[in-house]
Chains A and B, each alone.
Chain A
Amino acid sequence: MTASHDAYRRFRRRETRHLLWTTAPSVLWISLFLVLPSLYLVSMAFMSNDTYGQPTLPLTLSAFDQLAGDGVLGWSPANIYTLLRSLEYTVISSVLTMLVSYPLAYYIATSRRSLRPVMLLMLVVPSWTNQVVRAFGWMNLLAPETPLSDAASAMGLLSPWMGLYPSPFAVMLGLVYNFLPFMVLPLYNSFEKLDVSQIEAARDLYASPYKTFWAAIFPQTLPGLLAGMVLVAIPAFGMYVVPELLGGGRAMMIGNLVALQFAEGANWPLGAAGALVMLIATLVGIWLLRRMGRKFGGGEEVLV
């Protein structure tokens, strides 16, 4: 009895030691180089701002006051606008990505089996080139006096000599361009696994194509759609490169506002307060999408 008990205890101790030496280095690394720095950044949001923009004591909430728009010249809603604009761009570009990806995923999933990997590869390859280079490609395409901009102004959509870039339109286009593959891949997985008997049952019961879609197809693809939303909306909200390059000064998103405070803005506490808002929004977004995923996805776990 005691001998086997001892052996078991020794086994447990060995297992625990094993768990420790395999996981501790990574846990330590992530704690030292991400968790602690993030806590430090967050703590900065509660400090005051010295004349060089550096955080100092005493602790105050003035950074949040400034984020809400209180300044020396009275109240200005610029920061609030930036936050709302980020939400707006995120929602619009995610919905657009979804609308575009849905038929694409369907088309690939119903193509010849041998073609499917090649088609997926075709969609993914452009996103393997550097983000900055891709954004620069759009700058080339949408700049003033390019065929696209000329066409837009000929149709009266744009005042002459203006380009389609820089503009809010270019930013949203850039976001859709960036995140399209991240929506198509999980959606394609849903379409691949689609239970065709449900569609046949709906047809046998004389459901209209419209009804068949909403009752038999759409609910089955919802887990993929939500997984795609996590992969598109969350990083789109925190995007820095696309609004910085394609937006000019007029289409700033929250990430650009935050980064600006650490550079020319020279107000680290304000930037830290913005970063805290970004973190909270990101976590709330993930939590919401995961909850929805669990509610609609049945037993299937949504990615991330």
Chain B
Amino acid sequence: MRHVQRRHPMFGIFWWLMVLFLYLPLGMVVLYSFNSINSTAHFAGFSLRWYRQLLENEELFSAFKNSMILAVSSSAIALVLGSMLGYGLYRHRRRGLGWLIALIYLPVVMPDVVFGLAEMTSFVKVGSWIGLFSPGLTTMTLAHVTFELPFVALLVYSRFVNMDAALFDAAQDLYASPSKRFTHVILPEIKPALLSSFFLSFTLSFDDFAISFFTAGPESATLPIYIWSSIKRGVSPSINAIGSLMILAVMVAVIIMLLGNWRKRARA
């Protein structure tokens, strides 16, 4: 809306209550990660013992490593395929591509459980036929690329749409070869979209639980899967410590992002 209006003070109170609602569960995770006793109901005093326990946990480190490998490799593949698709969609958007759009939205709207189980059952089937695709990092990567691809395609597509089409014509008029046009015109223009697609894919992959859970093998637990199985086994205080580290990572990322924005605004 255009201007600040006089509002009932209840709105402000409600706003702060909702902020409390959103941050309280995260705050509890952080608070209990410093608890000196093994309890989530009583806080007995400050201690770092759960963090110290994490340092000796090899399962946790291998889960973190798997998460990183999975996120980087799947984002890289999705980036290549998705940006090609995004460019194709832009160049040929005047043709009837409705079916293609529907296909792209399929991974986005499909329930995670159905998605994961469809992959799992068919990987098992293909595995029994030709011995490929035993559950593990490979099958997880295939599944992750599938759900990251649409996001990359749509981000790259919208970057192209917002770009000045005269740039392409100018390059062509100046007799730039297709490869020159790509490296000197297209690539610099879509670089921000490529960067944000990669980070979005990385985050989606790193955060995903359900689809990874159904396509994972015995040796390929990711961080969320590790946390999940720790919860099911009931080892709570160390989960609070891992959870706090993950919350810390998000907060650091947000601060870096904000600083970057401020610097950009200061330069402008």
- Minimal Cβ-Cβ distance residue in A for B253: A128
Alpha-carbon separation in the docked complex, A304 to B115 (Å)? 18
Which residues in A have their C-beta under 8 angstroms from that of B120? 262
Binary A-proximity of B170-204 (CB < 8 A = 1, otherwise 0): 00000000000000000000000000000000010
B117: Cβ under 8 A from any A Cβ: yes
Asked if residues A240 and B146 are in contact (CB atoms below 8 Å), the reply is no
- The minimal Cβ–Cβ distance linking B10 to chain A, given in whole angstroms, is 8
B151: Cβ under 8 A from any A Cβ: no
CB contacts under 8 Å to A, within B70-100, are 81-82, 84-85, 87-89, 91-92, 95, 100
Asked if residues A133 and B243 are in contact (CB atoms below 8 Å), the reply is yes
A123: Cβ under 8 A from any B Cβ: yes
A136: Cβ under 8 A from any B Cβ: yes
B129: Cβ under 8 A from any A Cβ: no
Which residues in A have their C-beta under 8 angstroms from that of B207? 128, 130-131
Which residues in B have their C-beta under 8 angstroms from that of A238? 111-114
Alpha-carbon separation in the docked complex, A268 to B125 (Å)? 13
- Given A110-B1, A140-B240, do A37 and B119 touch, yes or no (CB 8 Å)? yes
Which residues in B have their C-beta under 8 angstroms from that of A13? none
* Binding stretch for chain B, among A16-24, A57-65, A72-80: A16-24
Alpha-carbon separation in the docked complex, A19 to B115 (Å)? 28
Where chain B touches its partner, the secondary structure class is helix
Asked if residues B246 and A140 are in contact (CB atoms below 8 Å), the reply is no
Which residues in A have their C-beta under 8 angstroms from that of B214? 259, 262
Asked if residues A259 and B117 are in contact (CB atoms below 8 Å), the reply is yes
Asked if residues A131 and B41 are in contact (CB atoms below 8 Å), the reply is no
CB contacts under 8 Å to B, within A230-256, are 234-235, 237-238, 240-241, 245, 255
Alpha-carbon separation in the docked complex, A208 to B262 (Å)? 43
- The minimal Cβ–Cβ distance linking A301 to chain B, given in whole angstroms, is 12
Which residues in A have their C-beta under 8 angstroms from that of B1? 109-110, 191-192, 194, 196
In the complex, 19 of the A-B residue pairs with CB atoms within 8 angstroms, ordered by the A residue number, are A19-B95, A25-B81, A27-B100, A35-B103, A38-B114, A41-B118, A103-B14, A104-B18, A110-B1, A125-B251, A125-B254, A130-B243, A132-B227, A133-B243, A145-B41, A234-B109, A238-B113, A262-B120, A262-B214
**Which B residues contact A (CB, under 8 angstroms)?**
1-5, 7, 11-12, 14-15, 18-19, 21-29, 32, 40-41, 81-82, 84-85, 87-89, 91-92, 95, 100, 103-115, 117-123, 125, 142-143, 145-146, 149, 153, 203, 207, 209-210, 214, 223-224, 227-228, 231, 236, 239-240, 242-243, 246-247, 250-251, 253-254, 258
**Which A residues contact B (CB, under 8 angstroms)?**
15, 18-19, 21-23, 25-27, 29-31, 33-38, 40-41, 44, 100, 103-104, 106-107, 109-112, 119, 121-123, 125-126, 128-134, 136-141, 143-146, 177, 180, 191-192, 194, 196, 234-235, 237-238, 240-241, 245, 255, 258-259, 262, 268, 271-272, 275, 278-279, 282-283, 286, 304
Known pairs A104-B14, A262-B120. 17 more at Cβ < 8 A?
A21-B84, A22-B88, A29-B145, A29-B146, A33-B119, A122-B22, A126-B22, A129-B247, A129-B250, A130-B207, A133-B242, A140-B25, A140-B29, A177-B21, A194-B1, A235-B111, A304-B109
